[in-house]
Structure 1
Amino acid sequence: MKPVSRGAAVLCLVGATAFWAGNYVIGEAVVDVIDPLSLTLLRWAIAVVPLVLLAHFIEHPDWRAALRRWPLLLVLALLGMAAFPLALYEALRHTTAVNASLISAVNPALITLVAVLVLRELLGWRGWSGIALSLVGVVIVILAGSGSTLTAVEVNLGDLLMLVSIAVWTAYTILGRRLHGVPPITATAIQAGMTVAGLTPVAAVNGISLPTEAPSVWALLFIGIFPSVGAYLLWNLALRTVQASTGGVFLNLMTVFIVAAGLLLGTPIGGMQVLGGLLVLGGVILTARDRPRAPVPAA
């Protein structure tokens, strides 16, 4: 498939982030009807076949060669396809989608920090300042969401689980950089298949909660199709035209979309949450604009 125009790439990035934002908003509405384990399993069960077809016709992969990387693909599936959504959906049972999005907005800065520590990537003063600013913003959001103060901290369980989810996603992202030779949609399809195969016996033992009313069915179909399939397709189409760093900046739109949806749905947003969110976004922008000097090669 040929690269799209830059204008189309921007629209693809906006669409992808809107779909991922929808995962938070719809997920918050449905987790009381479908438990996190069932929702994670059903989500990827719906998505796996479309992902395989998209990978086959768009990327034309060598499936046998891709499956030879099964150990790393399995670890990535456990982290990004199973542990991350499980932590996210469980968090949404205890906190709002708005609060969850404000906390998760620190993820790009956290990924940058871990890349510096683990992959020895360079970071300039803007990057370090952005990470510090984002962490301050997350603390403010957590305290505002729990109604605590610095002298009497009572962290909301949902906010704590969001910290777990972004830590898992950071590990998934860093390890994903070691996956070479497997196209992105193909890798996503294989991981989705592994997740379904792994979670099915677990869900069979614990019981699977299936939606019985129309709103829950539509919510499940939305999560299984748009955030799981559509967002990945749009994201990868855009990255054929724009740089990955440019695409990463667009991830900040998720928080904008989720807060806007929360306001429309009547979710109360306090001034401290707004302040914390602005600090997080400001820190992420600082980190994204960081341009450290390249190291001098050894003689």
Structure 2
Amino acid sequence: MSTTPHSRPVVLATLAALFWAGNFVAGRFLHGQLSPLTISFGRWLVALLCLAPVVLPRWRTTLPQLRPHWRAIVVLGLAGIALCNTLIYRGVTQTSATNAVMLSAFIPMGVLLGGHLFCGLRMTVAQTMGTALSFCGVAFILTRGQPAALLQLTLNPGDLWILAAVVCWAAYTLKLRHIPASVDKPALLFAVIAAGALCLAPAVALEWSLRGLPHITPQSGGVLLFLGVFPSVLSYQFYNVAVGGLGGARASSFMHLIPPFGTIMSLALLGEQLHWWHVAGLAVILAGVAVANGVFKGHGFAPTRPLHSR
């Protein structure tokens, strides 16, 4: 079945969300087997090996496209590759994969808020209301349905690591719009992953020198292969194309599919439990997303407006 020019980025954004949901579940599965730094570094090494046969033969012709944007590529690698994923793997050592994917539903609001605070973009009343509503849903999940816990500062550290990852992903999405759509997508992805892996390398080397080399079993190695192909090469490539076709804010709105995808996988593969406060908090977050999405075709974060315009 062929897809229209408009439906293609929609399909790609949906697949990216599906594969990224698997990232949370796989990270939780590897808890106790490999450290967060090792998981992240190993994942990106696999991704680089997958992309190399496609990118390197054309590197001389694509490098001139990338060179003017090297600063943005370094920021993208640091935020979206090194920090975001390491924080996720750190977070799921202390919280469930279900909790992590629920909190990831705040990504669209994080992009809207980040665009307003750091890119000079105006938020409409509907977007402001949607962001506030989503904040309430996040707070409900963080406190396990007991908002008074916010006053007692008795939050799960793992959940806070996941929220930090959400912030990094919002920064990645906003910065990605600074790269022209004409830049070769596989080459850009390769460069961003390489930049992220280089950012991780010193920390990984220090950890391995102190703790010794990791013991990778066939099982954990297979999971790393999955992480290196699906949530890495395919998801990032799909997401980059979707951002170019839909705009950063609209593309990020498809990430609210991560919670239902991830919850199903967490229940089926990890035997986790779904609690009432998961459902209630997610419902409030998605209500906020729905409120904000109603204005995408109006003012504010229209997909045709460059996110770097002030």
Tell me, yes or no, whether TM beats 0.5: yes
Q: Which residue of 1 aligns with 2:207?
A: 206
SS at match of 2:273: coil
Q: How many Å apart are 1:4 and its aligned residue? A: 6.0
Q: 1:293 to 1:14 in 2, by over 3 A?
A: closer
Q: 1:117 to 1:277 in 2, by over 3 A?
A: same
Letter in 1 for 2:173: T
Q: Which residue of 1 aligns with 2:230?
A: 226
Residues 18 and 257 in structure 1, CA contact (< 8 A), matched pair in contact too:
yes
Q: Which residue of 2 aligns with 1:275?
A: 280
Q: Which residue of 1 aligns with 2:96?
A: 96
Q: How many Å apart are 1:34 and its aligned residue? A: 1.1
Letter in 2 for 1:234: F
Question: 5 Å matches for 1:107-256?
Answer: 107-144=107-144, 149-150=149-150, 152-180=152-180, 182-207=183-208, 209-236=213-240, 246-256=250-260
Whole-Å separation in 2 of the counterparts to 1:146 and 1:45: 41
Structure 2 spans left out of the alignment, 5+ residues: 301-310
Q: How many Å apart are 1:155 and its aligned residue? A: 0.7
What whole-Å deviation, never above 9, does each CA across 1:111-135 have from its counterpart, x for those lacking one?
1012122222232222111100100
Q: Normalised by the size of structure 2, how large is the TM-score? A: 0.83
Letter in 2 for 1:92: V
Q: Which residue of 1 aligns with 2:306?
A: none
Whole-Å separation in 2 of the counterparts to 1:113 and 1:263: 32
Residues 107 and 252 in structure 2, CA contact (< 8 A), matched pair in contact too:
no
Q: 1:121 to 1:149 in 2, by over 3 A?
A: same
Q: Normalised by the size of structure 1, how large is the TM-score? A: 0.85
Whole-Å separation in 2 of the counterparts to 1:19 and 1:232: 10
Whole-Å separation in 2 of the counterparts to 1:114 and 1:237: 21
Residues 76 and 191 in structure 1, CA contact (< 8 A), matched pair in contact too:
yes
Q: How many Å apart are 1:161 and its aligned residue? A: 0.7
Q: How many Å apart are 1:258 and its aligned residue? A: 0.8
Deviates more, 1:271-280 or 1:51-60: 51-60
What whole-Å deviation, never above 9, does each CA across 1:217-242 have from its counterpart, x for those lacking one?
11111001110012233345556766
Whole-Å separation in 1 of the counterparts to 2:284 and 2:214: 40
Question: 5 Å matches for 1:27-38?
Answer: 27-38=27-38
What whole-Å deviation, never above 9, does each CA across 1:264-290 have from its counterpart, x for those lacking one?
242122212211111111111211222
Residues 125 and 290 in structure 1, CA contact (< 8 A), matched pair in contact too:
no
What whole-Å deviation, never above 9, does each CA across 1:41-80 have from its counterpart, x for those lacking one?
1111110133344457899962133134222211221121
Q: 1:4 to 1:221 in 2, by over 3 A?
A: farther
Deviates more, 1:234-243 or 1:184-193: 234-243
Question: 5 Å matches for 1:28-67?
Answer: 28-55=28-55, 62-67=62-67
Deviates more, 1:10-19 or 1:247-256: 10-19
Whole-Å separation in 2 of the counterparts to 1:22 and 1:160: 20
Deviates more, 1:261-270 or 1:208-217: 208-217
Q: How many Å apart are 1:179 and its aligned residue? A: 2.9
SS at match of 2:272: coil
Deviates more, 1:203-212 or 1:78-87: 203-212
Residues 143 and 153 in structure 1, CA contact (< 8 A), matched pair in contact too:
no
Q: Which residue of 1 aligns with 2:308?
A: none
Structure 1 spans left out of the alignment, 5+ residues: 295-299
What whole-Å deviation, never above 9, does each CA across 1:56-114 have from its counterpart, x for those lacking one?
78999621331342222112211211111111110010001111111121111111012
